[in-house]
Structure 1
Amino acid sequence: MVLTQRKPWARAFVPPADPGLVRLRFASRGVLGIAAAVAACGLIGQDIAGLATGGLAALLVLFTVTDPTVRGQAVTVALQPLVGLPVLAAAALLHGRPVTGGLVFVAIGGLGVYARRWGPRGHTLGAFAFMCFFVAQFGRVTPATLPSLCVAVLVSVAVAAVVRFGLWCYERRLPQPVPPTPPAGGTGLRRITTRQAVQVTAGCLFSLPVGHLLSHERWYWAVGATWWIFVNVTSRGETAVRGFRRVLGTCLGALLGLVLTLPLHGAPVPSAVVAAVAVFGIFYTAQTSYTWMMLSVTVLAQALYGLAGLLDGHLLVLRVAETLAGAAGAWLAVLLVLPVTTHAFNDAWIRRAVRCVHACTTEAAARLAGHPGADPAPRVAELEALLAQVRKTVAPLVHPLYLGRERRERARQVLVLLDECAREVRALVSVAADPEASHDARLAAACWRVEAAVEALTGPAAGRLVETGRREAVAEGALAHLHGVERALVALAEPLRASMPAGAATPARV
């Protein structure tokens, strides 16, 4: 089998496919919702701080809410102001007390990460609370300006909710894959969310004084960079790669600012256009490239500071320096405080993906056999989500800066073979959906061999490959795709077993 994979630099600059134009809809709705919220805030007389606060609140409503059902999303959106407004009030009361305010900010960040143990809603509410304190530093909120900013938050959340659930609720018409939950992590400090909360707190405590040394006014950039690096990561390898990509995206955004936002001198109309394009970029690239998303975030921040009349070359350099400080805080935290190795999660995610391949083939075969309740589509959506998670956890091993060449090649081979499994499964499901398709007795035997290959990779006797026998030449599409899945699974055993330590029980590790 010839293994091909796009080079890292090519993946960075060539956008991936957008099946169903889901990312395009997501980004377009984001621009519409934020523009409507900012316009509503402008109509009630908000200044630039109020417009920025309202725009950020709308962005969080449209961007961070990921509950699996529309009803659950609506409940989370309704809870966001209940969490965010008290934090905004605390930031106002602590105005002029940088040390105390910074420590409270760090505490809110730690609690926000700890809240992830309650799933997507906990993550969303934690992010909203953290960003309310963050935007309060940008707007320099005081007790006198607090009521106005609270109104901006309430108005923006309401407008964004109308856009999300009323004008453009595409979730009601498109099946949304549920993000896979992390493997169980025990209790206490063995629980991932608890360990991450401790790590985030430690990282923010490092970046806080460094941020103050760089700037007494923009110190919160460093703390914010540390906190956001920990979003959607679990291991130290993932965190290190995410920190690198955040710094790279910020540097590229700052360079772009020299030729794009800085020459505008804060002109309202072109700055607003640049901000809208940047918002679109944030939403469109969020699921595919953290570097491109951070570039868009940096351009958006520059456009806002330009509108406030604060943008200059020094601010661009400071943005990069504060981001470096934040990334350094995150790197030190994951290396020194309760580290979670990349290997600890590769094994679990690969096992789940391989098991899901088997579940997909079983459902598809049952559909071909005429079972009315068999529906492989949800399993395929689950497989896509699991493969995305596998790519993320394996990303540190295939990163160009990773020095272990042999291990990097094995990890790339695993990704290629898993993608091959996914392609064959998608094709099999398409065949099963054909009303003219009928059951063939050989499908059961082929599905059994797929199950045997899965057991060879994930079962207790994984060290011994199952003999799959002779591959008979078949013309039927379903059987051919099942054989393709089988071949890819058997081929997976070699790179996974090659990375096993002596005496290990399973090769499902890279």
Structure 2
Amino acid sequence: MSRSVFARTRDRIPSPSALGRALAEATATLLAALATMLCALAIAPGAGAATLAVVLCISLSRSQLDRDLRGRLEAAVVLPLIGVVALGVGLLLRHLPWVGAAVFVAGMFVSIWLRRFGPMARRAGSLIALPFVVLLTVPHLGPAAASGVLPVWLVPIVVALLALFWVTVFHLLVRWLRIRPPVDTEDAPAAEPAAPDKPGLAASTRMAIQMGVALTVAFVVGFLFFHERWGWIVLTAFIVNSGNRGRLDVVYKSGMRVLGAAAGTAIALGLGQHVGIDHRSSAILILAALFLGVWLRPFGYAWWALFVTLALALLQGFGDSEPVGLLWLRMEEIVLGAIIGIAAAWFVLPVRSTDVLRRRLADALAALSDALDPATEQRSATRFNTALDRVEEVTPPFRAARLLLRRRTLHPADWADTLLDCGEPARALIDQGATPGRIRQAVGAARRSLREPETLLPSLLALRSNLRGD
């Protein structure tokens, strides 16, 4: 009835063209980060401004906010204001940590909660979230050096505008070269709600509450029990709850975060202990790790976790601590942050991952139905392709669960894999302008079966067979 796990895995291997597009995107992001960092160092010598520059470039590149004129104008207006707020929150975290933590949690809550008010509010929420990330990566570094050519309060404004300028320049260059970068919406703050809203409570509100609870617990545990090392706990809780697509998604990202962090920290410790890297070589390795993370992220979250953790470990250094002991301390903090994130997603207004998957399957089937409708004047597979991409985004946790449980059929991952198998023959029909009645009936049967999950896989298998002419 279904193909082997090996065959399905083979189909998900990135194609050379996809790797090439991702490489172009990563190169543009790295060049923008380098240009912004050099400008930041010129106006404010020190690691704080340079770190802010790199983080803003990476976040802006992933958010896609610079891809149209309206987004660029909004970012140019809002980013400088948020940069000043981030400066203030950073100072609070250093001098009044409990107050700074409260402001940080409130800021992240608002950035997610705003999504319920439409596209403009979602973009504003995306912009609000960007500068706060740097405060988790290097919480004790000031955002500017007092010895710079600009006042301290003006540095984050200038750095934010520089980041927007250079990211826009290099993305326009990529578009001019006609290289289409992959759109990776995972964890993007501007993403649509993860699941259908419950009556009286929007999905974005539930996600904001989950994030607020996770960050609050992480800050409390970090401040009370880990003192100066609270950043790794809060950062992990933030990462695993970002772009929450249900409980299973949070568990999956937590596992990938822990595995990737373990590998990244071990590599960083090995480099620091055996190679004896200096500040210049450390900076080169950090940029190389970020480049690899940005390049490979569209093809697996574990790559991002591995290389970002490696970059953070090199950035924060190991001081005079014994390397192996510090490795275990950091892994303890990362695991604790992951547990906090999972608990918040599991027990605070939880979202079922299967509900998210069924919602995206329904959207894909609806798009296919419209594309095959004879009454449609201009038939296009664009909407169907986008819907399939959204199905693919939420499928990896289900595939991992199927592999761990050693189940081959009757698993939610089979729903997604079967519909994804329909993509190529469905696009061929749409391009040909054909509208076979049996295909439309099979699509309708699959849409109706969404109400009864036990009949969904047989209906999707029947649709695949009809599309392939079996």
TM-score (norm 2): 0.81
Secondary structure of the 1:454 match is helix
Secondary structure of the 2:100 match is helix
Change beyond 3 A, Cα 1:49–1:136: same
2:458 aligns to what? none
Q: How does 1:184-195 map to 2 (within 5 A)?
A: 184-186=196-198, 188=200, 190-195=201-206
Letter in 2 for 1:131: V
Q: How does 1:14-29 map to 2 (within 5 A)?
A: 15=14, 18-19=17-18, 21-29=20-28
Q: CA deviation at 1:20?
A: 8.0
1:200 aligns to what? 211
Could you tell me how far apart the structure 1 residues matched to 2:363 and 2:344 are? 29
Could you tell me how far apart the structure 2 residues matched to 1:102 and 1:340 are? 26
Q: What does the per-residue CA deviation read over 1:98-146, in whole Å, with 9 as the maximum and x for residues that have no partner?
A: 2222232222222222233344414422321432543562305699689
Query: 2:301 matched to 1:290?
Result: yes
Q: What does the per-residue CA deviation read over 1:139-162, in whole Å, with 9 as the maximum and x for residues that have no partner?
A: 056996897655443343333333
Query: 2:126 matched to 1:124?
Result: yes
Query: 2:335 matched to 1:332?
Result: no
Could you tell me how far apart the structure 2 residues matched to 1:17 and 1:386 are? 23
Q: Rg bigger for which structure?
A: 1
Letter in 1 for 2:267: L
Q: What does the per-residue CA deviation read over 1:349-403, in whole Å, with 9 as the maximum and x for residues that have no partner?
A: 111112223334458x97xxxx7xx352xx33x3343223323434433324877
Contact 1:116 1:123 in 2 (8 A): yes
Q: CA deviation at 1:263?
A: 3.7
Q: How does 1:74-85 map to 2 (within 5 A)?
A: 74-78=72-76, 79-85=78-84
Q: CA deviation at 1:192?
A: 0.9
Contact 2:46 2:144 in 1 (8 A): no
Q: CA deviation at 1:59?
A: 2.3
1:422 aligns to what? 423
Letter in 2 for 1:217: E
Contact 2:48 2:145 in 1 (8 A): no
2:239 aligns to what? 228
Could you tell me how far apart the structure 2 residues matched to 1:289 and 1:452 are? 36
Could you tell me how far apart the structure 1 residues matched to 2:94 and 2:147 are? 11
Of the candidates 226, 243, 268, which is equivalent to residue 215 of structure 1? 226
Could you tell me how far apart the structure 1 residues matched to 2:84 and 2:280 are? 31
1:502 aligns to what? none
Contact 2:114 2:125 in 1 (8 A): yes
Q: How does 1:307-318 map to 2 (within 5 A)?
A: 313=323, 314-318=325-329
Contact 1:92 1:143 in 2 (8 A): no
Q: CA deviation at 1:233?
A: 2.1
Letter in 2 for 1:399: A
Q: CA deviation at 1:318?
A: 3.3
Of the candidates 436, 440, 446, which is equivalent to residue 451 of structure 1? 440
Of the candidates 157, 163, 186, which is equivalent to residue 160 of structure 1? 163
Could you tell me how far apart the structure 1 residues matched to 2:250 and 2:450 are? 33
Contact 1:70 1:171 in 2 (8 A): no
Q: CA deviation at 1:176?
A: 7.8
Q: What does the per-residue CA deviation read over 1:458-496, in whole Å, with 9 as the maximum and x for residues that have no partner?
A: 13898799xxxxxxxxxxxxxxxxx985625999xxxxx
Could you tell me how far apart the structure 2 residues matched to 1:222 and 1:489 are? 49
Q: CA RMSD in A?
A: 3.8
Secondary structure of the 1:234 match is coil
Q: What does the per-residue CA deviation read over 1:400-433, in whole Å, with 9 as the maximum and x for residues that have no partner?
A: 487765586533332332222112234456x64x
Query: 2:276 matched to 1:276?
Result: no
Could you tell me how far apart the structure 1 residues matched to 2:423 and 2:321 are? 47
Could you tell me how far apart the structure 2 residues matched to 1:353 and 1:489 are? 18
Contact 2:219 2:234 in 1 (8 A): yes
Change beyond 3 A, Cα 1:150–1:203: same
Letter in 2 for 1:487: N
Could you tell me how far apart the structure 2 residues matched to 1:288 and 1:175 are? 13
Could you tell me how far apart the structure 2 residues matched to 1:15 and 1:311 are? 41
1:301 aligns to what? 312
1:470 aligns to what? none
Change beyond 3 A, Cα 1:317–1:80: farther
Q: How does 1:282-431 map to 2 (within 5 A)?
A: 282-306=293-317, 313=323, 314-362=325-373, 374=378, 376=380, 379-380=381-382, 382-400=383-401, 406=407, 409-428=410-429
Identity of aligned residues (%): 21
Could you tell me how far apart the structure 2 residues matched to 1:238 and 1:298 are? 20
Could you tell me how far apart the structure 1 residues matched to 2:339 and 2:11 are? 26
1:508 aligns to what? none
Could you tell me how far apart the structure 1 residues matched to 2:60 and 2:371 are? 34
Letter in 1 for 2:71: Q
Query: 2:248 matched to 1:237?
Result: yes
2:105 aligns to what? 106
Q: What does the per-residue CA deviation read over 1:150-178, in whole Å, with 9 as the maximum and x for residues that have no partner?
A: 54433433333333323441357549879
Change beyond 3 A, Cα 1:312–1:45: farther
Could you tell me how far apart the structure 1 residues matched to 2:359 and 2:418 are? 17
Could you tell me how far apart the structure 1 residues matched to 2:134 and 2:319 are? 22
**Runs of at least 5 residues in structure 2 that lack an aligned partner in the other structure:** 186-190, 456-461
Could you tell me how far apart the structure 2 residues matched to 1:48 and 1:264 are? 22
Contact 2:402 2:411 in 1 (8 A): no
Contact 1:360 1:425 in 2 (8 A): no
Letter in 1 for 2:446: L
2:188 aligns to what? none
Contact 1:262 1:311 in 2 (8 A): no
Secondary structure of the 2:349 match is coil
Q: CA deviation at 1:206?
A: 1.8
173-182 or 108-117: bigger deviation: 173-182
**Runs of at least 5 residues in structure 1 that lack an aligned partner in the other structure:** 433-438, 466-482, 492-510
Change beyond 3 A, Cα 1:331–1:194: same
Q: What does the per-residue CA deviation read over 1:332-359, in whole Å, with 9 as the maximum and x for residues that have no partner?
A: 1122211111232222111111222333
1:4 aligns to what? 4
